[in-house]
Amino acid sequence: FPLEKERLRPALYFAGGTYLVFGSLFLLAPGGLGAGLASLLDVFTRLSGWDGAPLWLPLSALFFYQFPALVLALVSLARLFKRRDPLVIFLGLWLTMSLLLAILPPSRQVADLGWALLPLWTLAALEVARWLEPPEQVVEFHPSADGQDAELQPLVISSGFWETLGMALLTVALIVFSWLNFSSAALVTFDPDAVRLRWILAFGVLALLALSVFLVAFGWSARAALKGFAWGGLTIFAINLLAMASFAAQLRPLPGIEMWPAAPQSLAIGVIDSQANEISQMARGSDAALNVMLVGVDSPALRWLLRDWRVTSAQALSFDSNPELIFTSENNILPELESAYRGAPFQLRNYPAWEQLTASEWLSWIINHDLPQGYELTLLWARSDLFPDSQNSLP
């Protein structure tokens, strides 16, 4: 895209003015300008972080959850890049930069792929629009039977619609049959002979589909074969998209384990909050009125939960400040606390064991989105003198 230098300066002026006006809410909230600049610091902080997801997890989430859009976008890029379409080139560059910004920072998260979905689905929509065009009519002209009329007369008019529809139905039927065999092979693991037969049927049906497309294209019409295969593939893509959306949105009766989680993973945060406030109410008569110390606990969810409390963090326990509440990790066992504090374990968060999965567990996850999980525990210690019955234990 050519850059006109004489328009660059006015564009910068308009960009700065837009930031001043809308960033400060028409000068009613000047603090918004500082917040906007602080967000740039957050970006660079994330680029230097080391607590993100593994590199393969966002890529796997893109493959499993956006497979229809990914295939269609790649086809659109391969087809339209040759024609130098400015829109496709712009969307391709946008998609590439969004993916790089999502997966390269060490603090990467799967949700960062959201910035890449808009160009991805736009490219996919361009390809879908191409294949959803109705079949073109084919008109054959023949001279009149008596040969006296020099003008050619239309004799056969064919659009190939029914042939295309038949190829689409065959494509859907064979892919569904292959998927059923794949599901059986993934879920039934106790009978090796049955599993082997299911795998043979699953891939054999796909080979039969490829042979059918070739025979229809060779013996009937290449356009009808390809368009019918595309219609059937788009139907399967739509079903796959609805299924993955229901998985990601947790619309099933039993929640599954998703690469793109929609629910908080700190399941016991509400219980920790209620227990801590109950102790504070019992001892001081109000919520968040106690001193809290975090010993070896690095949890953003817990820090946010305790944002209204007087919190100090340390890697080792110190009784100098005499904190009323202490949070320790499950690996940080402190016997000296048992004499002066009462403790209880809480499930701080759960995490899927992605890196420990076997091949059979991966296949099971593809079907059911269920897999083993690990749990991180935290111990909440409350000073014994905060409880009403503590006086009974004194000599």
Binning pLDDT at 50, 70 and 90, where does residue 175 land? very high
Predicted local confidence at residue 393, as pLDDT: 47
Q: pLDDT per residue over 57-112, tens digit each?
A: 889 999 999 999 999 999 888 887 677 778 888 898 999 999 998 888 877 888 88
DSSP per-residue string spanning 128-190: HHHHTSPPPPEEEEE--TTS---S-EEEEEE--HHHHHHHHHHHHHHHHHHHHHHHHHHH--S
Predicted local confidence at residue 394, as pLDDT: 42
Q: From CA 40, how far away is CA 177, in angstroms rounded?
A: 51
What are the distances in angstroms from CA 395 to CA 14, 90, 275, 337, 339? 77, 79, 28, 19, 14
Q: Based on the domain organization, do 42 and 127 belong to the same domain?
A: yes
Q: Based on the domain organization, do 278 and 385 belong to the same domain?
A: yes
What backbone torsions phi and psi does residue 34 show, to the nearest 5 degrees? -65, -35
Q: Is residue 48 part of a domain?
A: yes
Catalogue the E-assigned strands of the chain: 138-142, 153-158, 291-295, 310-314, 325-329, 341-352, 373-383
Which residue, chain included where needed, has tokens 């879920």? 187
Q: Based on the domain organization, do 122 and 161 belong to the same domain?
A: no
Q: Based on the domain organization, do 78 and 27 belong to the same domain?
A: yes
Q: Based on the domain organization, do 94 and 62 belong to the same domain?
A: yes
In this structure, are strands 341-352 and 325-329 parallel, antiparallel, or unpaired?
A: unpaired
Range of the domain at 203: 154-249
In this structure, are strands 153-158 and 310-314 parallel, antiparallel, or unpaired?
A: unpaired
Domain boundary among 219, 249, 279: 249
Predicted local confidence at residue 51, as pLDDT: 64
Give the contacts of 151 (CB within 8 A, at least 6 positions apart): 144
Question: Do the beta carbons of residue 230 and residue 131 sit within 8 Å?
Answer: yes
- How much is the average pLDDT of 126-143? 70
User: In the numeric block, which tokens belong to residue 368?
Assistant: 């059911």
